[in-house]
Structure 1
Amino acid sequence: MSDVHALSGAYALDAVTDIERQQFERHLAGCDICSEEVASLREAAAELSALTAEEPPSELRGSVLSALSEVRQLPPLVRPRTAPARRSPLRLLVAAAAAVVVVGVGVGVARPWQDDAGSGQTVSVADRVMRAGDAQRITLEFEGGAKATVVRSPSIGRAVLVTRDMPPPPKGHSYVVWLQQGDAMVNAGAMAQSPDQTVLLSGDAATASAAGVTVESNPDVDKPTEAPIALFEF
């Protein structure tokens, strides 16, 4: 590396190679500026992570390290001892990563690494439903050992379908999940082609009396064309 000072952030995150580590540690022994930078970064991460009440997702570290390649790490500024410490771009990244770890303290479960729309929302809301104090669980077993569980939280108003060892539907067909609203079955989404999955159902589960699964050639069908292969009564 042309400027060994720029390794301070990556070194603090343990994101350097063995050669870079040896090179930087030799430099660190004689550079008070880099020593202060590394100590400050590690202290910020330690203080924030000490507040955590929830484990971060396993992919978080990888995503943060991947982001390092997109953030240009500036070398420490040579400054008088009395000057205020500079906050480098990587310092902000480390603080943000540590802040992600502490999310979850307080009311509810907030996860800013997940988008509020699309698949991020599915994971976040599904997790809230599974953890809800009023969660209701109904499990059905199928021939061959497959299992399907519907978890509903009236307070959140959503339901989740969890499958294990679910066989694939016939070729050209999909499993479609429904919510029973009065006398009508409302399409709550199609399942992916996977034996083990967690599906957040669309629609208001708080007012539903049951959930069902049918086999359909058109996953967007407005009403079931076949009798349910599974019916979960709330």
Structure 2
Amino acid sequence: MSDIHHLTGAYALDAVDDIERARFEQHLAECEDCRLEVASLREAAGLLSETTAVTPPPALRESVLAGISQIRPLPPIVHRTPVVQRRWFPLLVAAAVVAILGVGAALWQPWAPSQDSSLTAAEQVIGASDARSVAVDLGDAGNATVTRSESLGKAVITTDGMAPAPSGKVFELWLQVDGEMVPAGLMPPGEDTQMVLEGDATTATAVGITVEPEGGSDQPTTEPIALFDFSQAV
């Protein structure tokens, strides 16, 4: 016997010859682990002796033999790291980083026009991170607010309870650029409106409203009824 420790089971069941018994008992005197194992095996064997033997049904033998001829044994399980996984893992990490950076860009530019196509042009200007507004009280004629975003280069006017223009006249909007009044569109008829002014409002210093003949004018023909000075914007 190359390893005498392997005799614990046979010794516990009294399945060794006289020579093996003598050698193993000599070993037991020096090996506590084997003594404990033999005691445990003898206890288990004693429990088995208390069970009642039952004769198996005749059909059991035929069923087992038939299964042996029909059941195919499973191949051994070999744990391998797929080459594809190792090859594609760096690419997946890179893709995750790109996705995170993309989300970050969206968070830092929530009002960029390309981020939400459901917003109107006026809503994009008013919601811009650099939007600044100037309000003017027109007395009995209502009030109006101009909001500008320099990053978008646009301005929006919003009126509340503003009286309509006199018959045969229109309200015309102007951008004041380098001291000159540049046409920026005609306000639609009605009390309340919100519209984006025409032209580039990036360098404008103010927005004006004048009363003009129908169809508008190339230059103001009257003094502004309201002037929105961007130096007072908040």
TM-score (norm 1): 0.49
Which structure shows the bigger proportion of residues in helix conformation?
A: 2
TM-score (norm 2): 0.49
